[in-house]
Amino acid sequence: MKDKKSTACPAGRLGRVGGQSVLEGIMMKCGDRIALAVREENGNIKLETDTHVSIRKKHKILSIPLVRGVANFVESMMLSYKTLMRSAYMLGIDDTEEDSKFEAWLRAKLGSKFLEILTGISMVLGVILAMALFLYLPAIATTGLEKLLRHLGVLESLGWFRNLIEGLLKIGIFVAYISLCSLMKEMRRTFEYHGAEHKTIACYEAGMELTPENAMKCTRFHPRCGTSFIFVILILSILINSLVPWGNLAFRALYKLLLLPVVVGLGFEFIAYAGKHTNIFTRILSAPGLWMQRITTREPDEGQLEVAILALKHAMPEEFPEIAEAAPESNEAADTPETTDDAQNA
């Protein structure tokens, strides 16, 4: 991953910075500082920076193992949503798209909160759909398969294999859903920015000079990615949900929800460990998520890497002081002044 101009990897770089792809851009976060960069249709890069103090720093009890994973998951979901909304505002999407009659009514009633409320409703409906797909459908399908095999006289009971089949069905639904999403032009652009985020972070962690040329040489697969986290969660759920009885499917779904914080907490601990350690254990459990990143990330172009690099440097001004010095002279790199808006993300 290194070239002749690269230096040895400085200590403490692994896991120091993280990011997220948004609409036509990238968010990078280092510590409490956040930088969001998006490219407008005219080619300019619009930039905003902000700070966000994690709730885990405010309440120490949320920093203990397992609990910190649940707190981080909830906080990340909320901040990811806010960042996505902020990127839409920066691009002016809410002002340019034509509304349906229902959307026009909502905009008249809700005013500036229109897009945020509408997206919130969409997220709630998405959660309901996800619960139906991942909690009920696999269990119903597995139960149906067992009844069919029993009726055919092939097998009286699937036993523990019910949990394995249910888990494989969950993974299959997830892979199919992401694969279908990747066929959409807009999602493909987002996946390209996702690849730019990973390549830029890999370039930084390798100690290479942050340029689009160097970042292009780096891997677009990263063990701390949210895609890997989801796969770890799915694998852990197969093991932990094997303790849940197969009686009433509604009660089984309820038990799974109650055990979800445990699964999320364990998944977070593994991802945090895998991001800083490479051994046979982490390689085996990280492999499915890294493979899935072949779908959720795409090879970016140099323009997308430029956006990611700009976001990363502004998230770490103490390490890249030239950014602060050059910003007033650059119309592209500082198209928008620094802001204290809460709508930024980790």
Q: Are 40 and 336 in contact (CB under 8 A)?
A: no
Here the tokens at position 239 are: 């093991």
Contact between residue 216 and residue 318 where contact means Cβ atoms under 8 Å apart: no
pTM of the model: 0.74
Query: Residue 237's domain spans which residues?
Result: 17-329
Which H or E run contains 247?
none
Q: What is the DSSP letter of 9?
A: P
How many distinct structural domains can be found in the chain? 1
Which residues, 6+ apart, have CB-to-CB distance to 263 below 8 Å?
A: 233, 236, 237, 240
The answer to the question of residue 335 being in a domain is no
pLDDT at residue 273, as a whole number:
81
**Greatest extent of the chain over all pairs of C-alpha atoms, in Å:** 78
Q: Which of 179, 146, 190, 155 is nearest to 25 (CA)?
A: 190
Q: How far apart are CA 174 and CA 230, in angstroms?
A: 9
Q: How many residues does the chain have?
A: 346
Residues whose CB is less than 8 angstroms from the CB of residue 208 and which lie 6 or more positions away in sequence, other chains included: 1, 2, 3, 5, 6, 7, 214, 215, 218
Note whether residue 2 is domain-resident: no
Query: How much is the pLDDT for 104?
Result: 62
Exposed / middle / buried, residue 31 (Cβ in 10 Å: 0-12, 13-18, 19+): middle
Residue 8 is assigned to a structural domain of this protein: no
Burial class (CB in 10 A: 0-12, 13-18, 19+), 249: middle
Residue 187 lies inside a defined structural domain of this protein: yes
52, amino acid identity: H
- Tell me which residue has tokens 């797909």: 133
Residue type, 288: P
Kindly give the pairing relationship between strand 45-51 and strand 17-22.
unpaired
Over its length of 346 residues, how does the chain's per-residue pLDDT go in tens digits? 333 333 334 556 777 888 999 989 999 999 889 999 999 988 899 999 988 888 888 888 888 888 888 888 888 888 888 888 888 888 887 544 455 555 565 556 555 565 566 666 776 777 677 777 777 788 888 888 888 888 887 777 777 788 888 888 888 888 888 888 888 888 899 999 999 999 999 999 888 999 999 999 999 998 778 888 888 888 888 888 787 777 777 788 888 888 888 888 898 888 888 777 778 887 887 888 888 899 999 999 999 999 999 999 999 988 888 775 554 333 333 333 333 333 333 3
- Return the SS3 of 19: strand
Paired strand residues for 29: 18, 34
C-beta atoms surrounding 157 within 10 Å: 11
Phi-psi region of 46 (alpha: psi -120 to 50; beta: other; left: phi over 0): beta
Using alpha carbons only, how large is the chain's radius of gyration in Å?
Answer: 22
Asked if residue 336 is part of any domain, the answer here is no
Domain-located, residue 281: yes
Q: How many CB atoms lie within 10 A of CB 340?
A: 9
342 within domain boundaries = no
Note the pLDDT of residue 341. Answer: 32
pLDDT tens per residue, range 327-338:
433 333 333 333
Tell me if 25 sits within 8 A of 89, measured CB to CB: no
Summarize pLDDT for 103-150 with one digit per residue, the tens.
565 556 555 565 566 666 776 777 677 777 777 788 888 888 888 888
Per-residue model confidence (pLDDT) at position 93: 73
Tell me, what's the pLDDT at 62?
A: 84
Cβ atoms of 296 and 194 within 8 Å: the answer is yes
User: What dihedral angle (degrees, nearest 10) is formed by the CA atoms of 225, 74, 128, 294?
Assistant: 0
Tell me, what's the pLDDT at 214? 94
Cα–Cα distance measured from residue 269 to residue 261, given in angstroms and rounded to the nearest whole number = 12
